[in-house]
């Protein structure tokens, strides 16, 4: 892995519906680092995540990012498929294996269950398993702990720690404590 | 790309979604003689055009399940994140949609032609026209599906958008069935179909990107 940052934002501004959400935001994330996005509702945390993911264009500034994985409120798994096959679709595209990721999130036993039968917390775990299995160096997390029970939150914290120990970086937007105590705080608004 | 097309086919197969256009097509072919009456020569003269109408509407049936569910579930976002262009997604959708309704429709055209008392040479012209024209219909459906994704009750709007655009396919397709290829209807049908297949992925790709803002 090279020494350059996995994510670099320079004087970035975001506009939604003709309104500037935030501007002049600069941030660099290197291997092993994490940044915690906080701020009131509607300030543009999710927009920043989508901007880094390349799904929105910045109104101003520079976004430099390599390969990234995204877990937001959208599950992006085929509802009618058994969980293991729905995750397998992405694993084939990414060249990874969903089994360790499912085990890491504690949903290995749900493998044959159709995605549409999963509960809110189980869906969140499935989305995180998809993110882990992708194997991208940068994780983009939008409210990753929403709907997770205490055990799920512990598993999320462990997965994030393992990812950072392996040279990954994390950008997370949240209202809840995630166990990222040493993260770079980014407060919008 | 192969994985995407296979996924489209799987989505079409589950829940019998792929059978809907087929059943619709056969139903129209069954009902048409009841409406027009059991007049053999009249049926043979008008049947080809009626089957083209049925094919057009059958292609339109899945318009609300092609793009919108993938947009709503974040599937399109995740594909974009992996560097798969929106145009590639549209091409995969086009290929998957055509495979799930084009060839089955061509098979269903055989019993449908029998119901219409179409002579064998007319059936051959219908089959040829469907082979050339259904990719154009699939392209139109994917393009309109992407344009209307994210809108509520998009089905009716999609019909209003798509049916006028399908007029050239209908004219040349039905013309080929009725008068044979003396007038060059097959070439014109192929040209229109090719234009739609070439243009639709770009229109659909731009529409998907625009729907994110």
The residues, ordered by sequence, that sit 6+ positions from B147 with a Cβ below 8 Å of its Cβ are: B158, B161, B203, B204, B207
Output the pLDDT for position B9.
Answer: 86
Rounded-to-integer distance, Cα B102 and Cα B113, Å: 16
Residue B177 scores a pLDDT above 80? yes
So where are chain B's domains?
A: 2-210
Quote the CA–CA distance of B24 and A37 in Å, as a whole number.
Answer: 52
What domains are there in chain A, each with its CATH number? 32-57+67-187 (3.40.50.300)
Confidence class of residue A1 from pLDDT cuts 50, 70 and 90? very low
β-strands A68-71, A184-187 pairing: unpaired
| Residues 6 or more apart in contact with residue B91 via CB below 8 angstroms | B1, B201
B82 Cβ under 8 Å from any chain A Cβ: yes
| Mean pLDDT, residues B142-156 taken together | 88
Task: Tell me how far apart the alpha carbons of residues A151 and B54 are, in angstroms, rounded to a whole number.
Answer: 55
Q: Do A54 and B3 touch (CB under 8 A)?
A: no
How confident is the prediction for chain A on average, in pLDDT?
90
Provide, as residue numbers in chain A, all residues whose Cβ is less than 8 Å from the Cβ of B3.
89, 92-93
Cα distance between residue A169 and residue A140, in whole Å? 9
Q: Binning pLDDT at 50, 70 and 90, where does residue A2 land?
A: low
What are the tens digits of pLDDT across the range A44-91?
Answer: 899 999 999 999 999 999 999 989 999 998 999 999 899 999 999 999
- B82 contact residues in A (CB cutoff 8 A): 93-94
Mean pLDDT of B43-61: 90
Percent of chain A with pLDDT over 90: 68
Q: For residues A84 and B58, what is the distance between their CA atoms, to the nearest angstrom? A: 33
Percentage of residues in chain B having pLDDT higher than 90? 57
Note whether B14 contacts A: Cβ–Cβ < 8 A.
yes
- Kindly state whether A53 is in contact with chain B, defined as any CB-CB distance less than 8 angstroms: yes
Please check whether residue B80 touches A, CB under 8 A.
yes
The chain-wide mean pLDDT, for chain B, equals 90
SS3 B184: coil
Rounded to whole angstroms, how far apart are CA atoms B152 and B64? Answer: 10
| Vertex B47: Cα angle to B44 and B50 (nearest 5) | 165
Q: How far is A131 from chain B (nearest CA, A)?
A: 10
The CA distance from A95 to A115, in Å, is 21
Q: Is the dihedral of CA B74, B80, B86, B89 positive or negative?
A: negative
Helix (H) or strand (E) holding A169: strand A169-173
Higher pLDDT, A10 or B150: A10
Q: Strand ranges (DSSP E) for A106-152?
A: 138-142
Q: Report d(CA A77, CA A15) in Å as an integer.
A: 29
């Amino acid at each position: 892995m090279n020494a350059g940052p996995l994510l670099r934002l320079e004087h970035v501004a975001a506009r939604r519906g003709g309104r500037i959400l935030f501007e002049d935001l600069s941030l660099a994330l290197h291997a092993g680092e994490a940044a915690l996005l906080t701020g009131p509702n509607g300030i543009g945390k999710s927009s920043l995540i989508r901007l880094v993911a390349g799904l929105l264009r910045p109104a101003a500034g520079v976004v430099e990012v390599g390969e990234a994985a995204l877990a937001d409120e959208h599950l992006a798994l085929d509802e009618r498929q058994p969980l293991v096959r729905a995750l397998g679709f992405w694993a084939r595209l990414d060249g990874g294996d969903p089994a360790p990721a499912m085990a890491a999130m504690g949903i290995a036993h749900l493998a044959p269950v159709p995605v549409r039968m999963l509960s809110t917390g189980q869906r969140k775990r499935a989305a995180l398993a998809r993110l882990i299995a992708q194997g991208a160096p940068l994780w983009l997390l939008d409210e990753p702990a929403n709907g997770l029970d205490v055990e799920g939150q512990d598993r999320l914290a462990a997965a994030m720690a393992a990812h950072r120990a392996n040279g990954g970086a994390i950008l997370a937007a949240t209202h809840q404590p995630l166990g990222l105590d040493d993260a770079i705080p980014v407060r919008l608004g | 790309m192969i994985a995407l097309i296979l996924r489209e086919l799987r989505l079409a197969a589950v829940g019998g979604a792929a059978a809907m256009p087929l059943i619709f097509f056969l139903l129209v072919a069954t009902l048409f003689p009841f409406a027009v009456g059991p007049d053999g020569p009249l049926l043979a003269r008008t049947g080809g055009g009626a089957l083209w109408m049925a094919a057009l509407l059958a292609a339109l049936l899945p318009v609300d399940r092609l793009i919108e569910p993938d947009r709503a579930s974040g599937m399109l976002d995740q594909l974009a994140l992996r560097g798969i262009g929106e145009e590639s997604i549209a091409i995969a959708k086009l290929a998957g949609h055509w495979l799930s309704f084009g060839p089955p429709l061509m098979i269903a055209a055989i019993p449908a032609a029998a119901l219409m008392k179409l002579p064998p040479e007319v059936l051959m012209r219908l089959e040829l026209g469907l082979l050339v024209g259904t990719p154009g219909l699939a392209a139109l459906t994917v393009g309109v599906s992407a344009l209307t994704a994210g809108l509520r009750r998009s089905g009716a709007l999609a019909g209003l958008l798509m049916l006028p655009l399908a007029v050239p396919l209908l004219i040349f397709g039905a013309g080929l069935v009725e008068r044979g290829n003396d007038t060059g209807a097959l070439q014109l049908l192929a040209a229109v179909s090719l234009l739609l297949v070439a243009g639709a992925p770009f229109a659909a790709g731009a529409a998907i990107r625009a729907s994110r803002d």
